[in-house]
Amino acid sequence: MMFGNVIGLARRSMPHTPMQELDSILVGPEFGVLGDCKGQRWPQRGVTILAKEDWDAALAELTGVAGASDLPWTTRRANVFVEGVALPKAEGSMISIGAALLEVTEETNPCYRMEMSAPGLMAALGPDWRGGISCRVVSGGAIALGDRMSVIREAVKKKVFLPV
């Protein structure tokens, strides 16, 4: 089993508004992250998770004459920021964070808002699921800063075979 720690939590009450950083959040199958505008509307993407290691790798690609980019992790607009664990890269993987159980439903694809934040960020987040994962809440509960995240089951990534 792989373990990591929660180092950031955030939500936004309305689309296109800044992320609000929090010390704890409540997640549930009916609403995703309580108070976040996305979860109730899209339960398959009720909680989004970003790994610090992936964020740092993306920012390293933005390094220029001024040095490494120092964009805050909330620029990615994820709900949970973790470190010390590789996020599973397959739908159906199961994660435990705090009191919650989550199922990975898809890669969180970077959108045009990333490019608006920093030119090149959308492309830097694109490879190898660097933009994070989207999850549905299987069983809800509280998640707080410092909580342990563990990958309970890593599903096998589906292979796509194209005709030759």
135 and 102 in contact (C-beta within 8 Å)?
yes
pTM for this model (two decimals): 0.90
90 and 106 in contact (C-beta within 8 Å)?
no
pLDDT of residue 89: 93
pLDDT digits (tens, 9 = 90+) for 17-61: 999 999 999 999 999 999 999 887 888 899 999 999 999 999 988
Largest CA distance in the chain: 52
How far apart CA 81 and CA 73 sit, in angstroms, is 8
Assess whether pLDDT exceeds 80 at residue 6: yes
pLDDT of residue 160: 64
pLDDT digits (tens, 9 = 90+) for 59-115: 988 875 454 578 999 999 999 999 999 999 999 999 999 999 999 999 998 888 888
pLDDT of residue 119: 87
